[in-house]
Each structure stands twice: as C-alpha cells, then as structure tokens.
Structure 1
Amino acid sequence: MLRVFSVYLFLTIFQAVTSQIPENCRRPPPGGVTPVDCCKLPTIFTDEDYKECGIEKGPLPKTRGPEVCSEHVCILKRYNLMKDDDIVDREALAKFLDDWAKKNPEFKDAMEQTKKKCLDKELPGPPEICEANKIGFCTLVVTFDNCPTMVESAECNKLKEHMDSCKAFYPF
C-alpha cells in the first residue's frame, strides 16, 4: 500500500491546497530516498495485485493524478475495500488494517494511528484528488511517522528530519 501511495502524492495534494506551505515542504524530500525505502514494511499487496491494476513497481510511480486514482481504486477493489468507484469503505479498510497488523504485530501501533488519523474523519484536499489517494497518502505519512522498523542511515535520518519539520503542514 505504501509503495503505491508515494510521497510524491504529497506534492499534488498540498500544492493544490495551499500556498502557505514552505517551499522546502512542497518539494520531494532531499536525499533520493522515500518513506518506503526507510520504513521496512512487510508486503501489504501482492505483485499480482500491482500487475492486475497496471501499477509498475519501482521506487516511485510514473504518474500522478486521476490515472493513479484508478490504480489505487483497483487495488482497493481487489480486497473489497471500496463502496463504489468514489467511496472507500472505511470500515472494511479498518478491518483490513487490523488483520494485517495481527500478522505484523510490530506495526499494530502504526495501524491504530493510521485508522485514527486517516479513517475516522474526512481528509482535506481538492476535489480532483480522489478519496483513495488521500487515504493512501495519509497512510504513508502516518505509518512512516510511527514506523517500528526504521532503517538507521544518514539518508533515512535526513528524510525523517524533513518529514518532521513539515509535519505541521499535514492536515491530519
């Protein structure tokens, strides 16, 4: 899930939402590493899921915007986590995250925080950003912030510092 919902969605959402965000928080974090490089997360979705939904696995997605929304919706539909094409089934997604956390108990607290911050309220953002993308980005940020398997490296420490310094501008 986190690889699908990359940190670059951050740029799309927040550049469109407000211009009050400092310039350094509107750019990709420095160092070339992403949250999924630094938070070693067990697999949530399968390679087959990615293939079936037309998602090219790699460090970063090739596209942003409505195309990515359809890919995210596709993944969620494969697990019956959508009510329809526009509405995420938040109750089903919460159960999905609970079930995943049971298999990966070190992430239980991160998933509890994700449910609280990403599923218990409507997330802000422009209407052209679909709910699946907003929830996915929120999940990425909250899981990264609460990651129990953070890689200790200069690059990951720099990314964590960047994310911490920009955290005040995240609307969740």
Structure 2
Amino acid sequence: MSVHDFSVKKANGEEIKLDSFEGDVLLIVNTATKCGLAPQFKGLETLHQTYKEQGLKVLGFPCNQFMKQEPVSNEEMAETCQLNFGVTFPLFAKIDVNGKNAHPLYKHLKQSKQGILSSEIKWNFTKFLVDQQGQVVERYAPTVTPDKIEDDIKKLLNK
C-alpha cells in the first residue's frame, strides 16, 4: 500500500486520486490558518516554488481538530492562505487526522511513520515526506520548520 492508493477532495469538492502524483516527492502537511505555526505556510510555499519544477509537490490538508484553529469554510480557508501567506500549492478539503473519522490517507501516514510517543498527530503542521513511489520516508514534528526539511527533500529529488 502507498500514498498513491488514496483519493482526496480538493477544497472545491472535486475528488482527486493521489496516483496523479506518482513520480513526485510529496510533502503532506495538516494545516490551520488560525494556528500560531501558520507562518510556516510561507516556508512551505518557498519549498513549493523552489522545487516544484524538480518534482516536489506540497499538499496541504486543513484540519480543525486542534483547538478549532481552522474554523472557516474550505473556500474561505483557501482564500486566507492565498491572501495572507501567498500559498499556491494545493490545499484540500478539511479533514480529520485523528480519531474514528480520520481520513484513510492519514491513517496510512500515521501507520507508516509513528510519532515519538504514539502514532497520533499531536498538532497542526505535522509533516510527512513521501518518495516518488508513494512510500512515507519521514515524519516531522509541527515545530520542525520547512527550511529544516530542505536537505531531505533534495536527497529524494536527486535519487
């Protein structure tokens, strides 16, 4: 099983199969516009702009499970990300990342790379690095800023 086996909904409700990203390196992030870590959107966008031509895709999955820090509609969230942070990488419809309603993609990500104490997502901006074949390579804590992931991304892009 790989990340490419899943489908997700875009913010506009359109379903997309993740096998359309086969051959790309993915950085999958659960996001929230009202989170104190939201300035990471800029770093994620920098990675996206710097490496998109080489095959990196940053994929944002808004989540309202952590202190309700993504309380707005999918449309408003996408607009906020674009206006406040200049985000051009894909943002998908809001999902749950923990609990019984966790999206199947996130169940797979958590099973593939557990956190330090458990597999549960602890906060917004937990990041998963996925290789070109859809295998989860690394998991990063919310406090790990995008620039700290850049070397790992470069290694995968150069494989």
Same fold (TM over 0.5): no
Q: Normalising by structure 2, what TM-score?
A: 0.30
* Greater fraction of residues in strand: 2
Q: Which has the larger radius of gyration?
A: 1
Q: Normalising by structure 1, what TM-score?
A: 0.28
